[in-house]
């Protein structure tokens, strides 16, 4: 069984690294978080604490 040359391992590593980066970027940018409406922001309760130091 012939051994694989170091340039072959390097090209495989680069190929799989690029595939992993591309896959990760596609997953990251395909998700759009829901944006709250402005009416929901106005009616929400904000608890303000008065800290006494």
- The pLDDT value given to residue 41: 57
Q: Which residue has the higher pLDDT, 43 or 51?
A: 51
Q: Helix H segments across 1-53? A: 6-30, 38-43
- Residue whose token pair is 């997953």: 27
The residue-averaged pLDDT of 27-37 equals 83
Distance in angstroms (rounded) separating the CA atoms of residues 36 and 34: 6
Does residue 46 carry a pLDDT above 80? no
| Cα Rg of the chain (Å, integer) | 25
- Which pair of structure tokens corresponds to residue 45? 């309760």
Q: What is the mean pLDDT of residues 38-51?
A: 63
Average pLDDT, the chain: 80
Please give the pLDDT value at position 38: 66
Mean pLDDT, residues 36-45 taken together: 61
41 vs 35: CA distance, rounded Å: 11
d(CA 53, CA 51) in angstroms, rounded, equals: 6
């Amino acid at each position: 069984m012939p051994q694989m040359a170091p340039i072959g391992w390097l090209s495989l590593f680069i190929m799989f690294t690029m595939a992993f980066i591309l896959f990760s970027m596609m997953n990251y940018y395909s998700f759009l978080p829901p944006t709250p409406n402005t009416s929901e922001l106005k009616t929400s309760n904000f608890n303000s604490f008065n800290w006494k130091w």
